[in-house]
Amino acid sequence: MAELVLASTSQSRRALLKRLGLPFRCVVPVVREEDWKIGNWGPKELAEQLAVAKAESLRKVEPAGTLIGGDQVVVLDGRIYGKPGTIERAVEQLGMLSGRSHELITALAVWHDGQTYVHTDRTVLHMRPLLQDELERYVLADKPLDCAGSYKIEERGITLFDRIETQDFTAITGLPLIALTSLLRRLGYTVP
């Protein structure tokens, strides 16, 4: 079977893929995410296009591999929220989400033998109302500066929510394993 290559620097995606028990390598994708924010993409299209771009960016250097890319965006009132980058912006983003429901769109792209497969997962998260000191305390604790929506659900971020509606909880942390496992089996990989 072709070697699995995760086109990502995300520790969360690496940990998720490791759970499948298949050997893989991580390679930094050759994509400037900020270049994609300029277009008139809808949230689903943006996440999918970035996931595809990440996977396909490695085709020339990993032509024999099965390349896996992923991306996430948070959507509230039609506005797309990405990675905050700074503590101040993370606190600001969480303040916007506080006491409200938002959508997390997670896109998965797998390039294999000249063909790209795409899957998109939608999760609705209901954040409890949060006070300013709670927002600041949380951001300083988890430092979710590289996370869409400014939270790490796999860490203390779970305490921010009242309810989560999803078909695949692994999609929340960046890689929908149910869809990925199904696709890998179709491609001939042995996944228990």
The whole-number pLDDT of residue 152 equals 94
The whole-number pLDDT of residue 71 equals 94
The whole-number pLDDT of residue 40 equals 76
Q: Where do the domains of the chain lie, and which CATH numbers do they carry? A: 4-186 (3.90.950.10)
Is the alpha carbon torsion for 93, 99, 100, 101 positive or negative?
Answer: positive
The whole-number pLDDT of residue 38 equals 59
71 among known catalytic residues: yes
What letter represents residue 112's amino acid? H
- pTM higher than the cut 0.95: no
Within a 10 A sphere around the Cβ of 120, how many other Cβ atoms? 19
Catalytic-role residue among 35, 71, 146, 162: 71
Bridge partner residues of 157 (DSSP) = none
How far is C-alpha 169 from the chain's CA centre? 12
- Print pLDDT tens along the chain (192 aa): 899 999 999 999 999 999 999 999 999 999 887 776 656 789 999 999 999 999 999 999 999 999 999 999 999 999 998 889 999 999 999 999 999 999 999 999 999 999 999 999 999 999 999 999 999 999 999 999 999 899 999 999 999 999 999 999 999 999 999 999 999 999 999 988
HEC letters along the chain = CCCEEEECCCHHHHHHHHCCCCCEEEECCCCCHHHHCCCCCCHHHHHHHHHHHHHHCCCCCCCCCEEEEEEEEEEECCEEECCCCCHHHHHHHHHHHCCCEEEEEEEEEEEECCEEEEEEEEEEEEECCCCHHHHHHHHHHHCCCCCHHHCCCCCHHHHHEEEEECCCHHHHHCCCHHHHHHHHHHCCCCCC
How far is C-alpha 92 from the chain's CA centre? 20
With b for 16 or more beta-carbon neighbours within 10 A and e for fewer, the 44-55 pattern comes to eebbbbbbbbbb
The whole-number pLDDT of residue 7 equals 97
